[in-house]
Structure 1
Amino acid sequence: MQATAIGTLISNHPLGWWLAGLVLASLAGPLALWGLRTVRQRGGPLLQRTLPMAIDPRWALLAGMLGAACAMVLAGSVIAELAESGSEQDGDWGAVDDAIANALRLHAATGVLRFFATLTHLGDTAVLTALTALVAAGLWWRGHRLLAIGWLAALAGNGALTRILKSIFERARPEHLHHGVAQADGYSFPSGHSSASMVAYTLLAYLATRLLPPRWHVPCVVLAGMLVFTTGWSRMVLQVHYASDVLAGWLLGGTWMVCTVLVIESVARWRHRGDVASTTAA
């Protein structure tokens, strides 16, 4: 009964919930930016007081890689739980998934569907592939080789992980009757649009914090959060993905992006300390 009420509420007000989600997403961006700045400003002194990492810069790289591995293991366990619960008719997520999909299939207006069918292109493979190539070329041309490699590794790695998980779980997509508005092939879990947009747009915001003046940082992270939420929400409203597919996609993409940032920051610190040591020795 509760799941049915949730489905009806979302299907009756998809635009309203989208706008509310945009507000929350716009708040999440500055919070993540604050966390990143805290790590950058206080992480160095804290590590110098507590760990031998400051003595040997290789420890910083090792710590970053271990942190990334732990994050992926934790995210993997949550994703597996989402997949199991969502695949069972009487599971918590299974009931919610079916209720939302069924309510949207019956009540979503064609105009609303066409609106979100336009927005969903933010996560299309063609769009993100072009974006990936342009950003990588720009970073390489400007001499930011580490950032260019990290950017390419993040997008390519996320794509490979998404395909692997889809082949493992083999979840069918929800039945949707609006084939003239939106179509999708392949398996459903996790949502590739959601994970890819999470990696691409949040990592772009991270690059902005590295390369642009501070006045651009907050607008960039706010915009990234809104784009990520819009892409994922559109997949659910169009009924080409279940709600748990979108959540798993966000979790996968967000974790992979954090892992990428951890490694980039660790390598950058390692290289910086190596350069300082070389200069001091000279």
Structure 2
Amino acid sequence: MTTNTAAADFGAVLAQHPVGWWLAGMGAFALLGMVALQGLRALRRASPPLHRLLPRLEARWLMLVAMGASACTLVMAGATMAALAESGRTQGPWGALDDAVTMALRDRADTAVLQGFAMLTHLGDTWVLTALTLAVAGALWRQRRRLLATGWLVAMAGNGALTKILKNVFERVRPEHLHGIAQADGYSFPSGHSSASMVAYAMLAYLATRLLPRAWHLPAVVAAGMLIFTTGWSRVVLQVHYPSDVLAGWLLGATWMVCTVVVMESVSRWRSTVGRHMKLA
């Protein structure tokens, strides 16, 4: 059996049980959230690296400069996304999987299932996440959490800009979706809903670890994982994106979000260390 045939067969299996795979995917992403939480706690126990490298740079500007430098890690994610896009163009394994899932869903998806996912997909709509961005930023600013507010805005705006740039670079046409229950325009790769929901809900979980008691941390990351998978999977079920579009969106959003969190954690530790030194002086 060739790789392409295996990918096509697996895609057909995915399309036969969209609700079952949705439940399984939410569970898997919830587990990933738990792993990420443990990694974040390990990072917080480590020494602040930016304090050692740049002890005199003002913290606010340090974060912005470091955010630009950390974006260089997106090169690796970009290479992976380019491989996904190339596989789709040349009918490689991902291209076979994309076509198999999309065609099987087009033939078999139940109308009630499509209508349900058409409601869930609003979790990643631009107007929903824009309202969320402004509300969270305003609340953080009123509470004088300006580092968190700045990081939140940089994460959301930066991801939006990167997604738009990459869509114009790859110029992939969306799959044909004729059911009329959901519509989407513009280029397909990477999925903007997937990348934006990854950043928004993962960042909200991160903010919960900064602002809420420890008992709320695990529920926050579990909920974030479930919402992220739900948004991305809804785009596949509705046939407005290929699976590789969604995977690329998750990869983009996760990479940018991790860069943001690492810098924010480093700057936060740097500021607290410098503050202690100033009090002692």
- Both proteins in one fold, TM over 0.5: yes
Any residues of structure 2 matched to 1:50-89 within 5 Å, and which? Answer: 53=52, 56=55, 68-88=70-90
- Partner of 1:229 in structure 2? 229
- After alignment, is 269-278 or 21-30 more displaced? 269-278
- After alignment, is 6-15 or 192-201 more displaced? 6-15
Give 1:275 shift.
1.3
Return the letter of the residue paired with 1:239: Q
What TM-score comes out, normalization by structure 2 length?
Answer: 0.92
Return the letter of the residue paired with 2:19: L
Give 1:178 shift.
1.2
Give 1:109 shift.
0.7
Matched position secondary structure for 1:182: coil
Q: RMSD of the alignment, in Å? A: 2.1
CA deviation profile, 1:1-36 (whole Å, cap 9, x unmatched): 323312221121000011111111111111100000
Question: Structure 1 19/70 Cα, relative in aligned 2: closer, same or farther at 3 Å?
Answer: same
Give 1:163 shift.
0.4
Any residues of structure 2 matched to 1:122-133 within 5 Å, and which? Answer: 122-133=123-134
Return the letter of the residue paired with 1:131: L
Distance 1:168 1:55 in 2: 35
Q: Which runs of 5+ in 2 are unaligned?
A: none
Answer whether contact 2:114 2:238 (CA < 8 A) is retained.
yes
Return the letter of the residue paired with 1:142: Q
Return the letter of the residue paired with 2:116: F
Any residues of structure 2 matched to 1:188-199 within 5 Å, and which? Answer: 188-199=188-199
**1:31 and 2:35 aligned:** yes
Answer whether contact 2:140 2:146 (CA < 8 A) is retained.
yes
What TM-score comes out, normalization by structure 1 length?
Answer: 0.91
Give 1:54 shift.
7.7
Distance 1:246 1:252 in 2: 10
**1:44 and 2:43 aligned:** no
Matched position secondary structure for 1:44: coil
CA deviation profile, 1:152-172 (whole Å, cap 9, x unmatched): 111011000000000010000
Any residues of structure 2 matched to 1:1-282 within 5 Å, and which? Answer: 1-41=5-45, 43-44=46-47, 53=52, 56=55, 68-88=70-90, 90-179=91-180, 181-281=181-281
Give 1:276 shift.
1.6
Q: How many residues align?
A: 274
Question: Structure 1 129/105 Cα, relative in aligned 2: closer, same or farther at 3 Å?
Answer: same
Return the letter of the residue paired with 1:40: R
> Where has structure 1 moved over 6 Å in runs of 4 or more?
none
Question: Structure 1 151/66 Cα, relative in aligned 2: closer, same or farther at 3 Å?
Answer: closer
Give 1:145 shift.
0.4
Return the letter of the residue paired with 1:122: L
Return the letter of the residue paired with 1:79: M
Distance 2:68 2:99 in 1: 38
Distance 1:8 1:73 in 2: 32
Give the % identical residues.
63
Distance 1:84 1:55 in 2: 40
Answer whether contact 2:236 2:243 (CA < 8 A) is retained.
yes
CA deviation profile, 1:193-213 (whole Å, cap 9, x unmatched): 000000000000000000000
Question: Structure 1 164/16 Cα, relative in aligned 2: closer, same or farther at 3 Å?
Answer: same
CA deviation profile, 1:44-103 (whole Å, cap 9, x unmatched): 18x6xxx98289365x96996587244212111111111111222x21211111111111
Distance 1:18 1:251 in 2: 19
